[in-house]
Amino acid sequence: MIELQRLTKVFPNGRGIFAVTLAVREGEVFGFLGPNGAGKSTTIRHLLGFLKPTKGRAVIKGFDCWQESAKVQASIGYLPGEIAFPNGMTGMELLDLLSGMRRMNSTRYRDELIERLQLDVHLPIRKMSKGTKQKVGLVAALMHDPEVIILDEPTSGLDPLMQQTFIDLIREEKQKGKTIFLSSHIFPEIERTCDRVAIMKDGRLIAVNDVHELQSMQRKLFDIMLSREEDVAKLLASPLEVVHHAGRRICIAVQGNYDAFIRELAQYQVQSIDLRTQSLEDIFLHYYDRRRDER
């Protein structure tokens, strides 16, 4: 459905994306993961025909994204990472404009989406909060029932409740057989929705994996607070990987061996457990770097 063939874009400052090759199958939810500045948005801009590739090409439904962007646009819905709307319009006027530009006959699904997201469409856009604008963007991306949905960092800046609504919507679209391409710099965001994930770093594609594979590779750090001083030594002596410890607070790394982790902890009196939020680099990139070093 979506195909990148050695897609390369070199900007005057030497940065860019280099020979990115991947294929997204029909009906698949594909995650595009990478730290900020890895080239995710640049890749997406090629899919939309905003940028001309230096080399290689991007293809959606058999149409070249640069040369036939109008044809490509007919079957895709796009939610930009940083939403910008024309000022001086209400949400409804904007949606009317975009429906008109798409020559849509029916606004049934659009109205349904507005209803579901509880969007106040008569508010002027300049008075909307970021979350509300995001909703307008989402309606605009989905209202024409596109076959391919492209979302650039869709849940950044949304509150957890709204994020959940969002994820539900994505899952529904998936059930309808839509192909979804979703970029993010946070793994949990992608973990809940995607089938396969591509990881990008410094403009290069590092890996394309099944999301379950990634989950098993993921290294999580837990901060354990023990109630009793005497348990500390015992836990330190256990087979679990202790990253560091200070007093009764012990940080343990877990990668796949959740069961062993739980069984070990069950022997102590645990005061609290916290999952440490980690950057993408901490979760995966060290894994790939290590694997490369081994070669």
Enumerate binding residues for other proteins (CB under 8 A): 45, 48-52, 69-71, 73-74, 76, 78, 80, 82, 84-86, 88-89, 93-94, 96-103, 140
Of 61, 56, 86, the closest CA to residue 74 belongs to 61
- Least Å distance, CB 131 to other proteins, is 18
- Least Å distance, CB 184 to other proteins, is 19
Q: Which is nearer to other proteins, 101 or 161 (CB)?
A: 101
Q: Which is nearer to other proteins, 102 or 192 (CB)?
A: 102
Residue 151 β-bridge partners:
79, 182
Q: Which is nearer to other proteins, 97 or 285 (CB)?
A: 97
- Least Å distance, CB 140 to other proteins, is 7
Contact 39, 200 (CB under 8 A): yes
Q: Which is nearer to other proteins, 126 or 228 (CB)?
A: 126
Q: Which is nearer to other proteins, 96 or 195 (CB)?
A: 96
Q: How many CB atoms lie within 10 A of CB 82?
A: 10
Contact 51, 216 (CB under 8 A): no
Place of tokens 């679209």: 173
Sign of the alpha-carbon dihedral angle for 5, 15, 30, 213: positive
Name 135's Cβ contacts closer than 8 Å, sequence gap at least 6.
Answer: 117, 119, 162
- Least Å distance, CB 49 to other proteins, is 7
- Least Å distance, CB 101 to other proteins, is 4
Name 233's Cβ contacts closer than 8 Å, sequence gap at least 6.
Answer: none
